[in-house]
Amino acid sequence: MKIALTLVGAALAGTGFAPAAPVTIEYSPARLARDGRTIAWTWTVRNTGASVGDLTVVHRLRPRLDVVAVTPGCAATAGGVRCGYGALPAGGRRTGRLVARVPDGAKGTVRIGGTVTWRRAAPR
C-alpha cells in the first residue's frame, strides 16, 4: 500500500472557567504504522497551577478519521475523541493515546489538535 501523508501535531493551552490554573496539552509526533493502515498519537495534559475539576479534553482529527483505539476514560466522537478526566491536582498530569485508521490511498495532511476545559476545584 502506498500512502503519502504529512503528519502534524498541535499543542494548545486550554482556556477554562478558571484562567488562573494553566492546564496545557502536548501531542507527540504522529506515528504511522509500518503497513500504513493506522496512525497514532500520545498526549500529556499538565496542570501547572491550582487544582481543577471537571477536566475535559476534546481532540479533533483533520481530516476526520475512524478512531479504532483510545485510552480508557476516552470515547470516540464524530471527528475526534473526548476524554473526561474529572479532577486534576496542582502539578498533576494525565496521558493518553489514540489510534485512527488511515483510508486506503490516503494523501495529504493529517492534523490533530485539542481543547481543554475545566472549572476551579472547590476549596477545602
Distance CA 22, CA 50 (A): 8
pLDDT confidence band for 22 (50 / 70 / 90): confident
Q: Which amino acid is at 92?
A: G
Question: Is 123 within a domain?
Answer: no
Query: Are 58 and 82 in contact, with CB atoms under 8 Å apart?
Result: yes
Predicted pLDDT at 21: 52
Domain presence at residue 15 = yes
Least Cα distance to 106 among 38, 27, 29 occurs for 38
> Which residues have C-beta within 8 Å of that of residue 104, sequence separation ≥ 6?
1
Does any domain span residue 16? yes
Residue 71 lies in a domain: yes
Establish if 121 belongs to a structural domain.
no
Confidence band, pLDDT 50/70/90 cuts, at residue 12: very low
Query: Cα–Cα distance between 32 and 89 in angstroms, integer?
Result: 33
The model's pLDDT over 66-104, given as tens digits with 9 standing for 90+, comes to 999 999 999 999 879 999 999 999 999 999 999 999 998
**Residues of the domain holding 75:** 4-114
- Residue 21 is assigned to a structural domain of this protein: yes
String of DSSP letters for 56-117? EEEEEEES---EEEE-TTEEEETTEEEEEEEEE-TT-EEEEEEEEEPPTT-EEEEEEEEEEE
Closest listed residue to residue 103, CA positions, set 71, 75, 70, 61:
61
With beta carbons less than 8 A apart as the criterion, state whether 114 and 10 touch: yes
* CATH code (residue 32): 2.60.40.1170
Residue 119 placed within a domain: no
Q: Is residue 39 part of a domain?
A: yes
The structural domain count of the chain equals 1
